[in-house]
Structure 1
């Protein structure tokens, strides 16, 4: 019995070990299937063309597929509108998808523009750097430099550079606007000056125009004053001179009218018998900077009396006064009007 138990235990242990090995093999195959290196080996064996991996390519592929689906949906909508001869309104989901599609297109266009500008700057910096390095090598060789120096310059010129190094060197170079030669698709378009330069040019033109205008006016008045008259030109000059004198007279009269000197006459100081100035009523009261108070509300009793009178007046506008009977009814003077109903106090 013991031997049978040991045999059964060995069989079970072998089965468990076999299952563990199978599980490990399956796990290894699964990891290998997810491995990029194994995928590349499988593609090489199958003869597939190599694919370029770009950072963010998956996101761009997803956006490209979404864009294609949205374009197809819009094409179907246009066909339906053409069949029905009417516009099909967009629902909320379609509006949101269309807005996201436009935003992604704008972002992609901005990324391409930035990439174009960066490449143009790197190309320009590379060309200038290469020209400077070539001049340095030629100068070292012509100036009798040592072979080690010439070899070092050649190595620095011919060694491969990383993209980060090229971008760093391009950042040290002047901007594209400051460069004489622009390497871009818009090279034939003239560069527009900065806003500050245009503003300074405009202000300089305005000042020059004002100076010319003022000089011409001064010159015309001087000629009118110097000439004695005679003929048609003299009569015109006298007319302008008379108009100028009338304008000056009007200005002087207006200034005299609104000047502060003539508004308040100076009062003669009052002097008593001893020759001393008398005090004024304001000095005698000695109120200082105390605020003005209405005389009617200084007394609290009078204040509340006026307040009650105002309340009674306001109440008469809300509720009609009750008419008390002072004599027997004598009838209406203009006849009985049945359309009017008024309350009469009884008793």
Structure 2
């Protein structure tokens, strides 16, 4: 078995240098923008028409027939639904905060802080201006340390 020993002289040179940004002419950008607007308006119009058809079908009591027509694909077979397509199975419903790890940890930290408050006293900062010694000063107690 032959082993290859790495030698510093065999380093691959790094590719350095600046790359030029891809620029488009104003005409190309305007054409792209117009096509995106056109596509969006067509989708919106199609949704409005579908909604209008659904309202008419619901009024006439033929909504089920309309839904059956829409669900049939080009080859005459029914299209698959969201649940089948996503293959979720019997997964349990999860909390919304579990989607974002940062939020989940922040909530967990808040819960831990609340638990800590029940275990021991936690400093919450000064509440208003200084009001003096609230418990009073006793003449009998001396808490000083004698140095000699």
Question: TM-score, normalised to structure 2's length?
Answer: 0.31
Higher relative contact order (CA 8 A, sep 6+): 1
User: Which protein has the bigger helix share?
Assistant: 1
Question: TM-score, normalised to structure 1's length?
Answer: 0.15
